[in-house]
Amino acid sequence: MIATVMFYALLPLSRLIGRLSELWHKAPSVYVNGKEVWDGGGALPGPQQMGLQWHSTGSPNTGPDPDPTETESPQGTLEIGCMEASVSDGGDEEENLSARLEETHDRDPVVNGFPKAELQGHAQAHASSGSQCLAAGAGDEDHKADVAPGAVCAALVQTGCPVFDLAALLADSERVQTAVEPVGWHFPTGLGLAQMSYCPYVQFPDLSYYPALQDQDSIEVMWRVWEDLSETHADAAAAFDFSIMSYNILAPDLLEGNPDLYTHCPEDVLLWDVRLQAILTELQIWQPDILCLQEVQEDHFLEQMYPVLTDMGYTCIYKRRTGNKTDGCAVCYSSERFTQLSVNLLEFRRPDCELLDRDNVGIVLLLQPMAGQMEALRPICVANTHLLFNPRRGDVKLAQLAIVFAEIDIMVQKCRSEGRRCEVILCGDFNSLPSSPLWTFITTGQLYYHGLPTWMVSGQTDLSYKVHHTRLFAPLWPSSLDISDRCQYRSEPQAAASGIFPVDNRQYSHDVMLQLRYCPAACVRPADLELIPGVTDKTPDPEDMDMFSRRFGHTLHHTLSLTSAYSEIRPDTQSAAVTTLNSDGAAMVDYIFYSTRRSGSAGDQEGAGGLQMLGRLSLLSEADLWSLRGLPNETFPSDHLSLLVKLQLT
């Protein structure tokens, strides 16, 4: 009782002292991925906002749109520019699309113009736009005092048209850093910086056992930043740099079909029109040279996305899922940078195969990069797919993946028959976790599957408590599929024979018996096995195991050398990166795999090949995303994040 009376007696005094100390106190520091970038200043929302509108007035314009500042075209308009914001009543800002768009952009020092060929030129353009930006910020008296270097572009958004310069971000981030900081595509988590910095102390401590939020010495802010990895690669004069995005955009029909997954979301962030605008904005910002989309609803794609993408200079290929599913996959590529050599639309459902009774699809296409006199550049095979979701059916996922590999192999062989090597990029939503058997198969080229429970394949769930497990045994799919365990069509001349004993020659030579010492049964050590150092404790080295699996089967192979562009652990914060989040949890299930130089083939330039990764857009952790109220949210319009990497073909 006495304590309560004392508390209320002293509260006004402590508030007064708090206010006074607030005046003296330095604004809190802001850390981006562990690095101090901001002194706590922030710009408040202004009267003008940036928006993106699609006015469909006729057939799509098939030509590229070289001038991103253009606001009108004769057939259809992709308008990016300034418009009057609808008046917001302050409390309702998050429900306002324009306000949300501003939130996406107002700290975004990027220009809408992708670095196609003249990287240098773009970077310089950015440097000058950066200085304009600074000048505008300095001229704005209202904000001059508290706007820090990183915030000046926000001031520009309020005073005139925002200018985006992704070019510099993707091409030359060092220059960007000197021009305007912070670099990257910035998504502060939690409250806006201005509110965080100047937030008054919590008002009703009497209702809470927790102390008032008083320590604001530092605010941790996480961003999706561009990770520049180009320094590790030598400047290649004849290099062809390009970017590729993989993005599951969450089909509205699937969203409505699984409402339980989105109970954490405010209604307005789930509206398709709102999400579409944000998706298009995202594509407009990054303008990837190749775009691989999943969960693209057919009607929306044809009516709303295709016209915009065509107008942006893309050629698009779409494949709807089979059965009564309304969504599918799309691959769009820049018509200026690539020509199409070949395309194959994949349906995984096979009427003659009980295993393959699901409606998932994929697209495999062969693209020829075009760059001035560089027609001799190796073609790039791009594969995009969305594998089955069902966590229990790893058997189906593997069979679907085998079809993708067999179709990629057709493209690879096609190039080989012309005496050329091609690079491979495999992307999509694989509904499988990093380090799962399916992921391991993709990244190592082999998977010993004998007896593996089907639920284990994707790592999505743990069903180990079950008494009975469906397991994988050879053959994984019927011979009618005509795909070997090397994931190549058997009818193709190069299809390798399976490594099992020939039926008519069961002569077990000493050599064969010797190799059997590495079979899984021989590798099991009984608990009471007598220890003979160097003998019974000897474990086979991986090369010998590899030889065993090649020789004796029960192993899936593919012939590509693929690396995942993203790793499970974020290199900056050491936290687990995720690509999708819903009420059920978060995980990394989307990937961009690209072909790398084969070990042992160095020196033979054309024979070795491989792509180099120059950079990527960082992912976020589950905690980061929950601080944004999960996915989808006002900033990220899908329950998946986009994956974006920049690759180099030399």
Give me the residues that bind ligand KL2 (CB under 6 A), please.
248, 254, 258, 261, 389, 429, 431, 580, 589, 639-640
Please, which residue, 102 or 282, has the CB nearer to ligand KL2? 282
Minimal distance, residue 257 CB to ligand KL2, in Å: 7
Coil vs helix vs strand at 340: strand
Minimal distance, residue 278 CB to ligand KL2, in Å: 17
Which DSSP category does 268 fall into?
G
Minimal distance, residue 361 CB to ligand KL2, in Å: 11
Coil vs helix vs strand at 394: helix
What span, in angstroms and rounded, lies between the C-alpha atoms of 166 and 617?
12
Q: Which amino acid is at 314?
A: Y
Q: Residue 36's beta-bridge partner residues?
A: 31
Beta strands in 298-379 (DSSP E): 314-320, 327-334, 338-347, 361-369
Please, which residue, 139 or 257, has the CB nearer to ligand KL2? 257
Please, which residue, 101 or 261, has the CB nearer to ligand KL2? 261
Give the sign of the dihedral formed by CA 148, CA 150, CA 151, CA 155: positive
Integer-rounded Cα Rg, in Å, for the chain is 28
Please, which residue, 389 or 626, has the CB nearer to ligand KL2? 389
Nearest C-alpha neighbor of 561 from the set 428, 426, 414, 427: 426
Please, which residue, 387 or 412, has the CB nearer to ligand KL2? 387
Can you tell me which residue has the tokens 């330039």?
A: 605
Minimal distance, residue 388 CB to ligand KL2, in Å: 7
Minimal distance, residue 248 CB to ligand KL2, in Å: 6
The residue number with the shortest CB distance to ligand KL2 is: 389
Please, which residue, 387 or 403, has the CB nearer to ligand KL2? 387
**Any residues with CB less than 8 A from the CB of 533 and at least 6 apart, and which?**
none
Torsion of CA 218, 269, 580, 241, to 10 degrees: -80
**Any residues with CB less than 8 A from the CB of 468 and at least 6 apart, and which?**
none
Please, which residue, 262 or 518, has the CB nearer to ligand KL2? 262
Contact 588, 621 (CB under 8 A): no
Measured distance between the N- and C-terminal CA atoms of the chain, rounded to whole angstroms: 77
Residue 432 burial by CB count (10 A; 0-12/13-18/19+): exposed, middle or buried?
Answer: buried
Tokens of 277: 């605008």
Minimal distance, residue 399 CB to ligand KL2, in Å: 16
Q: Which amino acid is at 348?
A: F
Minimal distance, residue 646 CB to ligand KL2, in Å: 25
Other Cβ atoms closer than 10 A to 63? 13
What span, in angstroms and rounded, lies between the C-alpha atoms of 494 and 488?
8
Please, which residue, 287 or 579, has the CB nearer to ligand KL2? 579
Minimal distance, residue 222 CB to ligand KL2, in Å: 23
Please, which residue, 221 or 249, has the CB nearer to ligand KL2? 249
Minimal distance, residue 350 CB to ligand KL2, in Å: 18
Which DSSP category does 303 fall into?
I
Minimal distance, residue 447 CB to ligand KL2, in Å: 21
Please, which residue, 179 or 387, has the CB nearer to ligand KL2? 387
**Any residues with CB less than 8 A from the CB of 544 and at least 6 apart, and which?**
518
